[in-house]
Amino acid sequence: MTPVRVVCIEDEPEMIDLVRLILSREGYEVVGASGGFKGLETVENLTPDLVLLDLMMPDMDGWEVYQRLKANPGTRNIPVIVVTARAQSIDRVLGLHIARVDDYITKPFGPAELLKSIERVLANHKR
């Protein structure tokens, strides 16, 4: 069976490494993309099963990356989980209810929380 491919768009290499460590143990294939522009390019080239997206990046804001993914017919159906240090409830409401991201995880997070979110989003997406 082909492993589930996840693109992690994040400007901190340590966070990409952490996500890769957590997910690869569970059989996921993780491709890291440093920053928004690289992230968009990677998602368009690989068409992953899921995108983990940081919001605060220097080159392109995560919301802009998200809007571009959703505007592109080739990537609009890929589920997106926002993983961010923005823990204020207004950001969460914006993400889940207005932008309609598939889930919203705040940093720091535990491995179980990340895995549970990914499993739930992928299960809902297959319907």
Rounded distance between C-alpha atoms, residue 65 and residue 25, angstroms: 28
Q: Tell me the β-bridge partners of 5.
A: 29
Which are the contacts of 25, defined by CB distance < 8 A and separation ≥ 6? none
| 62 touches 82 (CB < 8 A) | yes
Closest residue by Cα to residue 30 from 120, 114, 126: 114
- Predicted pLDDT of residue 16: 96
pLDDT in tens, 41-84: 999 999 999 999 998 898 998 989 999 999 999 999 999 999 88
The pLDDT, as a whole number, for residue 2 is 86
CATH number at residue 48: 3.40.50.2300
What pLDDT was estimated at residue 104?
Answer: 85
Please state, in angstroms and rounded to a whole number, the distance separating the CA atoms of residues 110 and 112.
Answer: 5
Q: How would residue 1 be classed by pLDDT, with cut points 50, 70 and 90?
A: confident
Compare 12 and 127 and report the one with higher pLDDT.
12
Chain position carrying tokens 């392109």: 60
Q: Which domain holds residue 105?
A: 5-126
Residue tagged 């368009």 (tokens): 44
Q: What is the pTM of this model?
A: 0.91
Higher pLDDT, 99 or 1: 1
Tens of pLDDT, residues 97-125 = 566 788 888 888 999 999 999 999 999 98
DSSP state for residue 118 in the 8-state scheme: H
Number of folded domains that form the chain: 1
Q: Could you tell me the pLDDT band of residue 13, with boundaries at 50, 70 and 90? A: very high
Cis (ω within 30 of 0) for the bond into 108? yes
Nearest one of 9, 1, 62 to 28, comparing CA atoms: 1
Write down the pLDDT at residue 87.
62
Evaluate whether 105 touches 82 at the Cβ level (below 8 Å).
yes
